[in-house]
Amino acid sequence: MGKGSLVCVGTGLQLAGHVTVIGKSYIESAEEVFSLMPDAFGQRWLEGLNTNITDLQQFYAKAGEVKNRRLTYEQMTEAIMTAVRAGKRVVGVFYGHPGVFACVPHMAIARAQKEGFQASMEPGISAEDCLWADLGIDPGNYGCQSLEASQLMFFEHQLDNAGYVLLWQIALAGEHTLTGFSTTEERLRVLVDLLRQWYPEQHKVCLYEASNLPIGACRAEWVYLKDLPEATLHAITTLVIPPVRELQYNLRVLNQLGLTPEDLG
C-alpha cells in the first residue's frame, strides 16, 4: 500500500468553467474524491470526471436536527483523513476557492501534514474574484478590508471608510450558535448601528451574489445602509461597502521621503 496524500482544489463559482487545468487533472487522477458542492449539477459534473466520490454534504444536519457545525466539519475532516491514512491519493473538491471561508480543507491539510502525509492546496476562483470583475472595481485603487460579518460584530475592528469593505456571510450576521443558517432583522439593525460609526445611514451599499452559470447575471442590488435589515439575503450574499471619503495624504511620511502630494504620479 502506497503512502496516502491529499490535495484540496477549488472548482470556482461557475460550473466546469472556473476549474483550473491542474485542478481538473487532480480530480481525474485521484483514487478517492471528497466533494462539497453547492448543488446536484456540480456533483454530477464531478461524477463525470471521477466516479469514486464521497459527498461531504451528508454530514450536515438533517431536517429537524440541531447540529453544531464544528462537529460537522470535524466529521468531514475525519472522513477525508480516513482515506489518506488508508494510503489513497485523495482529492478534496470544494466550491470556489478551497481556502476561503472553508475550514475543512485547512483542517484536513494541517492534520495530514502533522501525521506525515503529503498535503497541499491548489487555488480556485473565489466569490471575491468574481466580485471585482462584475462590479468593475480594482481594489488596488482604494484598498480593501474583507471580514466575516459576525466577526466584525463580535470583535473590535476598525474599518477604513476610505477603502472598500466586504462583509461576508451577511445572511448569518450575529449568528453565534453554529447551528442556525440565517440572521434576523434585529441582529441586522445591530450591525447597521455598528456601521454608523463609519458610514451615514444614507450611504449606498451593494448586495452582491456571484452567478454560478456562465449565462447568468450576478446580483448587484444597491440599497441604503439603513434599509439593510429589510433586504432579501441569501447564504451567498456579500455586503459591499464603497468608500465614503477620499484618501488622505500622510504628510508626515511624505515629508520623511522628501515628497509632496504633487510629486505623486
Give the full edge-to-edge strand order of the sheet including 32-36.
53-55, 32-36, 89-94, 5-10, 118-121
**Which 3 state secondary structure label does DSSP give 138?**
coil
Q: Are 65 and 110 in the same domain?
A: yes
Q: Are 11 and 116 in the same domain?
A: yes
Report the C-alpha gap between 199 and 192 in whole angstroms: 9
> Structure pTM?
0.91
Report the C-alpha gap between 133 and 146 in whole angstroms: 16
Give the CATH number for residue 209. 3.30.950.10
- Which residues are the active-site residues? 69, 73, 95
Strand segments, DSSP code E, in the chain are 5-10, 32-36, 53-55, 89-94, 118-121, 144-148, 164-168, 204-209, 219-224, 238-241
**Is residue 53 situated within a structural domain?**
yes
Q: Are 110 and 213 in the same domain?
A: no
Supply 39's cell numbers. 448543488
pLDDT tens by residue, the chain, 265 residues: 569 999 999 999 987 889 999 999 999 999 999 999 988 888 999 999 999 999 999 999 888 888 899 999 999 999 999 999 999 999 999 999 999 999 999 999 999 999 999 999 999 999 999 999 999 999 999 999 999 999 999 999 999 999 999 999 999 999 988 777 889 999 999 999 999 999 999 999 999 999 988 888 999 999 999 999 999 999 999 999 999 999 999 999 999 999 999 999 7
Q: Domain total for the chain? A: 2
Report the C-alpha gap between 76 and 54 in whole angstroms: 10
3-state helix, strand, coil in the chain (%, to 5): 35, 20, 45
Report the C-alpha gap between 114 and 111 in whole angstroms: 5
Q: What is the DSSP letter of 115?
A: T
Residues 6+ apart with CB under 8 A from 245: 161, 162
Contact present, 240 and 208 (Cβ < 8 Å): yes
Q: Are 100 and 161 in the same domain?
A: no
Which residue range(s) make up the domain with 178?
A: 127-241
